[in-house]
Amino acid sequence: MIEMTRRALAVTAAAWLAAPARAAPGEPVIERAIPSTGERLPAVGLGTAVAYDRDGAAARGAAAAVVRALVEGGGRLIDTASSYGDAESVVGAVVAAAGLRERVFIATKLEAPDAAELARSQARLQTARLDLLQLHNVRDPAQSLAAFQAWKAQGVCRYIGITSTSHRDFAAIEAVLGRERPDFVQIDYSIDDRAAEGRILPAAAAARAGVLTALPFGRGRLFRAVRGRPLPDWAAGFAGSWAQFFLKYLLADPRVTAVIPGTADAAHMEDDLGAMRGALPDPDQRRRMAALIDGL
């Protein structure tokens, strides 16, 4: 997922109040184990909705710079979807041209368990084998993942998952997690939208599913909320920017496998990657972070 208001805020207002912190090469990258296998995944990835939904030289150029920043900064995860316009084509072309397929973890989504849609995604992404294949926007508590399980068994994908960005679908997500046991769940979760903490994160832990957090900047709400405000002094020990503040709140919960902020700006990608290095807030700091945002 991506929040395009971030670019607009950067251009039109002081949304970026602290200097972006480049990832320091000497600091270890925060990685999380995928519960079903133990494979470790860098904790900050890239979302691709909206920014890359129209293919063309500009989109490919921006994506190439962002993907390069992601990989050079220690990241691997790129999340896209068959429904994100041309995003799969842009990602596929950029990754193939740079020879980065073995260095990235490609996750995409299908709107239904449809073989034709899957083949289209594989062709657009220029890869026969996906790292993570997700069923997008699960709404039916009786949803079967049998086709996804079969594709996994056939080697089409290494992991399978489900997604939702709607609270009204929490019951369906909980039911499918408990019965189907996918490897991942992707959920709408940000410091100002913490409903997933009480329901989806516990269900994911019980099902031994990794958690990807979509919309970690709340569709730009968070940057609008802090416009004109400096980063608090008490956060300086773990965050170098508001983006890192927002992302580190999520990563401080060990049940979160990775956050996937969206951007078409390489400098923003570098800043986001700073969230997977250095200290994470402790429980008291985390409560203080939430109280600060709730009070705005």
CATH of the domain at 248: 3.20.20.100
Whether 2 shows a pLDDT value over 70: the answer reads no
The pTM score is 0.92
pLDDT digits (tens, 9 = 90+) for 44-102: 999 998 889 999 999 999 999 999 999 999 999 999 999 999 999 999 999 999 999 99
Q: What pLDDT does residue 288 have?
A: 98
Q: Are 76 and 105 within 8 A, CB to CB?
A: yes
The edge-to-edge listing of strands for the beta sheet with 258-259 is: 46-47, 77-79, 105-110, 130-135, 157-164, 184-188, 210-214, 258-259
Collapsed DSSP state (helix, strand, coil) of residue 278: coil
Q: Are strands 105-110 and 77-79 parallel, antiparallel or unpaired?
A: parallel
Q: Are 12 and 4 within 8 A, CB to CB?
A: no
- Please give the backbone phi and psi of residue 70, each rounded to the nearest 5 degrees, phi first: -60, -50
Q: What pLDDT does residue 25 have?
A: 53
Q: What pLDDT does residue 157 have?
A: 98
Whether 33 shows a pLDDT value over 80: the answer reads yes
Whether 26 shows a pLDDT value over 80: the answer reads no
pLDDT averaged over every residue in the chain? 92
Could you give the CA distance from residue 130 to residue 208 in angstroms, rounded to a whole number?
21
Q: What is the mean pLDDT of residues 184-213?
A: 98
**Inside any domain, residue 290:** yes
Q: What pLDDT does residue 51 have?
A: 84
**Inside any domain, residue 100:** yes
pLDDT digits (tens, 9 = 90+) for 98-157: 999 999 999 999 999 999 999 999 999 999 999 999 999 999 999 999 999 999 999 999
**Inside any domain, residue 111:** yes
Is pLDDT larger for residue 18 or for residue 267? 267
- Hey, what are 37's tokens? 């296998």
**Inside any domain, residue 134:** yes
Q: What pLDDT does residue 253 have?
A: 98
Q: What pLDDT does residue 16 have?
A: 31
**Inside any domain, residue 9:** no
Whether 189 shows a pLDDT value over 90: the answer reads yes
Domain that holds residue 52: 42-294
Bridge partners (DSSP) of residue 134 are 109, 161
Burial tier of 182 (Cβ tally within 10 Å: 0-12, 13-18, 19+): buried
- Please give the backbone phi and psi of residue 75, each rounded to the nearest 5 degrees, phi first: -90, 165
**Inside any domain, residue 1:** no
* Number of CB atoms found within 10 A of residue 28's CB: 10
**Inside any domain, residue 229:** yes
Domain count within the chain: 1
Whether 23 shows a pLDDT value over 50: the answer reads no
What's the distance, CA 276 to chain centroid? 13
**Inside any domain, residue 29:** no
Token pair 């063309």: residue: 56
